[in-house]
Amino acid sequence: MDRNESEEKHAMSLAFDHGTYVVNHQELEEMGRTCCKSNAQTARSEDMSSDTKNPELSIVVPVLNEAGLIQELLRSLSSQLGVEMEVVLSDGGSTDGTVEKAKVAARDCPFPVRLVRAHRGRGRQLNAGISGSSGEWVLLLHADSLLPDRLALRKGLDALLSAMQLVGHEQVAGRFALSFQGNGEALPRYLYFNEWKARLNRRECTHGDQGFFLNRSFLAVVGPFMETLPVAEDTRFAETVRRLGEWILLPAGIITSARRFETEGFARRQMLNAAMMTLVAIGREDFLLEMPLIYASQESARRLHLLPFLIRIEEMVNNLSLRQQFSFWYSVGSYALGNAWQLAFALDVRRSSRCGDPAGKGSTPCLEMFEQYGRPLIDHPPGRVVTAALVWISLRLLSIYLRIVGG
């Protein structure tokens, strides 16, 4: 890397605290027709409103049995100012009246609302929705997310344009500052940790509930979404963006429902998420393919039972050869050790919470100290073996505990 390129990337890091990788820009037209051919051929589209003006922004929302939220989502988006947009609802086969309620709400929207019928699965629905959209910019949004700032979209678009001008290319994507909304009671501190973490410029800290906002030409480079797995399509996409371009934190917030944590239990959901992320990270997606119910659709979500998943993972590992088992656990240890920074970060978050600091506003001395002094002490082959052993022991103890308490 020459001096000018190094200075340019350093300036980007100072301005937005995001990303360090750049690729040559590829101008790809008609992304909606090329992003995912299978979805383009099978998805069916229909307009819910008569407004057909050319939008500056397309908001793509995958939905599945979201009758209780879809009207609130469209009302929230209707309050946005300063952007010509369309909303594309990509339905995966709702049976609870989601489509009918969306059609009623669409009559009062100041923007076109389009329905795309796609095969069930968030990756498939996102690809189909993108194919059915037409805006120069695309925002990929969850159905249970709201933008409280009426200028959130305008601010986000302006921030992305400024970032692109600064670095001289279009490989820039943005996500909003995440906050959770519960059922009216005070949210537990553990969600404050997730809100804080989502603001960090680190691998696997960017997820779909923050909204993915990017130019269509860059979307053509980093897409399409992975369709083969029931989970992790957003993380895979986010890390592709990080590898090929830049992430920035947009100057507006997004509120996402905490319903899954509340229904399933935070600790159990976090542990299952960690297990799924680990399997994907170490290249054992085949384990997830054998567990199709691992991420239940929200309408069927209930208190999560971890034991069946742990038993199935144990069975699949035991079916490996001894060499493959060692490789598996060594990879698990390496991945777990790579995320040890979260323990130090949790101490910083705990201090910020006690001080009443908003998420993302406090300092992180424990994390900085760990990266400078702690990581070099433990991040080596013996450390990975020890970590793998600790993970194995922890999972065995967890299985015993779940057998005693039930699930």
Do residues 63 and 95 both lie within one domain?
yes
Dihedrals φ, ψ of 262, to 5°?
A: -65, -40
CA gap 319, 307 in Å, rounded: 18
For the residues 284-307, what does the mean pLDDT come to? 70
Tokens linked to 370: 């760990």
Do residues 88 and 136 both lie within one domain?
yes
CA gap 332, 351 in Å, rounded: 30
Dihedrals φ, ψ of 231, to 5°?
A: -140, 170
CA gap 68, 283 in Å, rounded: 37
Do residues 230 and 168 both lie within one domain?
yes
Do residues 244 and 320 both lie within one domain?
no
Of 257, 276, 301, which residue sits at a domain end? 257
Residue 121 in 3-state DSSP? coil
- Under 8 Å CB-to-CB from 325, ≥6 apart: which residues? 317, 318
- In angstroms and rounded to an integer, the radius of gyration of the C-alpha atoms of the chain is 22
- What is the signed CA dihedral for 257, 190, 16, 172, rounded to 10 degrees? -50
Do residues 60 and 209 both lie within one domain?
yes
Do residues 172 and 283 both lie within one domain?
no
* Residues paired with residue 245 on neighbouring β-strands, in sequence order: none
CATH number reported for the structural domain that contains residue 75 in this entry? 3.90.550.10
Domain count, the chain: 2
How many CB atoms within 10 Å of residue 274? 14
Say yes or no to pLDDT of 33 above 50: no
Domain enclosing residue 346, as ranges: 263-405
**What is the per-residue pLDDT for 393?**
97
The angle at the Cα of 114, spanning 113 to 116, to the nearest 5 degrees, equals 150
Determine contact, residues 395/306, Cβ cutoff 8 Å: no
Classify 309 in phi/psi space as left (phi over 0), alpha (psi -120 to 50) or beta: alpha
Query: From the DSSP assignment, how many helices (H) and strands (E) are in the chain?
Result: 19, 9
Summarised one tens digit per residue, pLDDT across range 94-144 is 999 999 999 999 999 999 999 999 999 999 999 999 999 999 999 999 999
| pLDDT-derived band at 265, boundaries 50, 70, 90 | confident
Can you state the percent helix, strand and coil of the chain, rounding each to 5? 50, 15, 35
Do residues 290 and 382 both lie within one domain?
yes
Of 236, 257, 278, which residue sits at a domain end? 257
Summarised one tens digit per residue, pLDDT across range 46-85 is 777 655 568 999 999 999 999 999 999 999 999 999 999 9
Of 207, 223, 257, which residue sits at a domain end? 257
Place of tokens 């923007």: 111
Sign of the CA dihedral running 125, 247, 145, 51: negative
Do residues 247 and 274 both lie within one domain?
no
Do residues 153 and 285 both lie within one domain?
no
pTM value is: 0.85
Do residues 251 and 285 both lie within one domain?
no
Query: How far is the CA of 212 from the CAs of 59, 261, 329, in angstroms?
Result: 10, 22, 33
Say yes or no to pLDDT of 299 above 80: no
Cis ω on the peptide bond leading into residue 365 (within 30° of 0)? Answer: no
Do residues 186 and 287 both lie within one domain?
no
Do residues 167 and 302 both lie within one domain?
no
